[in-house]
Amino acid sequence: MYLTRRVTDDIHYIGCDDRKITLFEGVYSINNGMSYNSYMLLDEKKVIFDTVDKAVTEQYIENVRHVLGDNKLDYIVVHHAEPDHSASFSALIRMYPDAVVICNVRTKMMLEQFYSSEIAHEIKFKIVKEGEALSTGKHTLKFILAPFVHWPEVMVTYDETDKVLFSADAFGSFGSMDGALFVDEGEFNLDEARRYYCNIVGKYGTQVQTLLKKASALDIAYICPLHSYVWRKDIGGILDKYTKWSLYEAEEKGVVIVTSSVYGNTDNAAQILASKLVQKGAKVKMLDVSIKHNDVVIAECFKYSTFVFASPTYNAGIFVRMEEVIRDIVAHGIKGRRYALIENGSWAPLAAKQMEEILSTCKDMTCVGALTLRGAITEEGLKTADELAEALMC
Ligand code: FEO
């Protein structure tokens, strides 16, 4: 059965939740489902904005049929060609072969790469450029390019009539909506929104800032993202968070201690350091990479001002999960942090130097010191831990 909601008098939510998903895009851990958002404008012209993931195509088609009824579908606007939003595109265009697909030249190329073999007829494209406008009757849609928020083809649309920003991946979150539509109806979780931001577009801070600058010129009453709740309250609050995140500024002063340990000695030293930091008044978060997904560690590293990485030496290098996590953090463009290292190696401790080499590829990173263990921490090691705690508090 269809399940749709009105965003405004003319704009309908036609997206769907997937509560069975546990891993998004094969990488990101999902604890509470995922929503795939799509919207329909019923004006003199009828417009659908994006489609949904293939996991929910059946429900989606019911939603489309219900809201569109016997009307002709005039346009499909594709903001983002990534398959979590375009996988149902081929089903939709087969149902409405006369609909004109509005997108930019990069999107057209990607849609053809993904779906041309599934579509028998020739698709009618309307290629739009930055700032181009389209009247649908009462509404005027303005198309705004937002490359690399998240893929290079991304664009957003501003509906000047209802003051709605269709924001593609921006301002979304992990998590299903569970019957709610608006952020003030649901259980918005800032930690999940941050984890989504850092992992999906964290690498592209400069491009996010460019979009924020364009958005600042708009009078926005609603933000309709492609995942999670529609924003109609506290829009300034989420824009402020995006500003901070895109500038790679820490939200809180505190220390993330990222640990790994084969027999417990490295973790013991990390815990001792954590205790010393807490006693000095620091906020500390410990994460063991053997059981935490990279996406969780990345989000905490974006949130806090300071890190510690603690790793045994493993095959003359960094412990395998720790190396993966550090490389993933670096790949997400983080910068401007202070950090300390703990290494362990019974006969040849080699992890710290290699961790520092990887982290040195980030901008504005400062290593405040390292603690080297050769098994269990010693009395001398405790003194070094004291010094590290002091340096991390500065
Ligand atoms: Fe939600 Fe970049 O796709």
Please give the pLDDT value at position 211.
98
Predicted local distance difference test score (pLDDT) of residue 71: 98
In the prediction, which pLDDT does 120 show? 79
Kindly tell me the sign of the dihedral angle through the C-alpha atoms of 19, 22, 26, 28: positive
Task: Return the number of other C-beta atoms located less than 10 Å from residue 189's C-beta.
Answer: 16
CA distance 78 to 75: 10
276 in ligand 1 pocket by Cβ < 6 Å? no
Task: Please tell me the distance between residue 83's alpha carbon and the centre of ligand 1 in angstroms.
Answer: 8
Q: Is 12 close to ligand 1, i.e. is its CB under 6 Å away? A: no
Instruction: Establish whether residue 150 lines the binding site of ligand 1, counting it when its CB lies within 6 angstroms of any ligand atom.
Output: yes
- Three-state secondary structure along 296-354? HHHHHHHHEEEEEEEEEEECCEECHHHHHHHHHHHHCCCCCCEEEEEEECCCCCCHHHH
87 with 50: CB under 8 angstroms?
no
Which ligand 1 atom is the nearest neighbour of the CA of 150?
Answer: 2
What's residue 121's pLDDT? Answer: 85
User: Quick one: pLDDT at residue 118?
Assistant: 86
169 pocket-lining for ligand 1 (C-beta < 6 Å): yes
**Is the CB of residue 79 below 6 angstroms from any atom belonging to ligand 1?**
no
Token digits of residue 47: 């417009």
User: What separation in Å is there between the alpha carbon of 227 and the centre of ligand 1?
Assistant: 8
Which region holds residue 58: left if phi is over 0, alpha if psi is between -120 and 50, else beta?
alpha
pLDDT tens readout for residues 191-242? 999 999 999 999 999 999 999 999 999 999 999 999 999 999 999 999 999 9
Cα–Cα nearest to 177, from 15, 312, 315, 299: 15
pTM value > 0.85:
yes
Query: What is the overall mean pLDDT for the chain?
Result: 97
Query: How many whole angstroms from 36 Cα to the centroid of ligand 1?
Result: 9
- Which residue shows structure tokens 């269809």? 2
- Check pocket membership of 84 for ligand 1, CB cut-off 6 A: yes
pLDDT by 10-residue block (mean), the chain, 394 residues: 98 98 97 98 98 98 98 98 97 97 98 90 95 98 98 98 98 97 96 98 97 98 98 97 97 97 97 98 98 98 97 97 98 97 97 98 97 98 98 93
Q: Which atom of ligand 1 is nearest to the CA of 227?
A: 1
CB of 264 closer than 8 Å to CB of 271: no
What is the whole-number distance in angstroms between the Cα of residue 150 and the centre of ligand 1?
7
